Amino acid sequence: MRIDNLKPFQIVLIVSFCLTGCDKNETIELTPIRVGETQAFVEIAATDEARQTGLMQRRSMNLNEGMLFIFSKPKILRFWTKNTPLTLDIGFFDERGVLLKYLTMEPEDERTIHQSPEPALYALEMNEGWFESNRIAVGSRLILPH
């Protein structure tokens, strides 16, 4: 299923299914996605609370794991790494799932604001170097599961 065929609210409904019944004591639910030809497994942050918490306090992530932030409508997205001890790459995707830009965010940096170059609907946080090592470039497509 391609993102450009779905409305934002449909995407939120699909991925929020993964959050149903989850609480802080349960195992983290990972959803498989693709960026270009590369598969990743992500936590979904589709609520205000999940987006605000993000990857705070996380000390490590497996190689192809990360967090996908989903917003209700495209807007300029702003991120920082307050209380996040990991160095992260972040990619910003528009409503069609097209990668607009990716960059590296240094750990524990609440002063530097990293923002999308234009309105975006998705932000994908992965380990430092993930986009480059997987040869994911601007224009690559984000593909969510069926």
Residue ranges and CATH numbers for the domains of the chain are: 3-20+29-143 (2.60.120.1140)
The separation between CA 19 and the C-alpha centre of its own chain, rounded to angstroms, equals 15
For residue range 57-89, list pLDDT tens digits in order: 888 899 999 999 999 999 999 999 999 999 999
Neighbours of 30 (CB within 10 A): 17
Output 6-10 pairs: Cβ under 8 A, ≥24 positions apart: 6/144, 8/70, 8/71, 8/72, 8/73, 8/74, 8/95, 8/121, 9/72
Pair 83, 37: CB distance under 8 Å: no
Q: Is the pTM of this model over 0.85?
A: no
Strand partners, 125: 67, 90
What are the b/e assignments for 53-87, b being 16+ CB within 10 Å? ebbeebeebeebbbbbbbbeebeebebbbeebebe
- For the chain, which residues score pLDDT lower than 70? 1-27
Predicted local confidence at residue 146, as pLDDT:
72
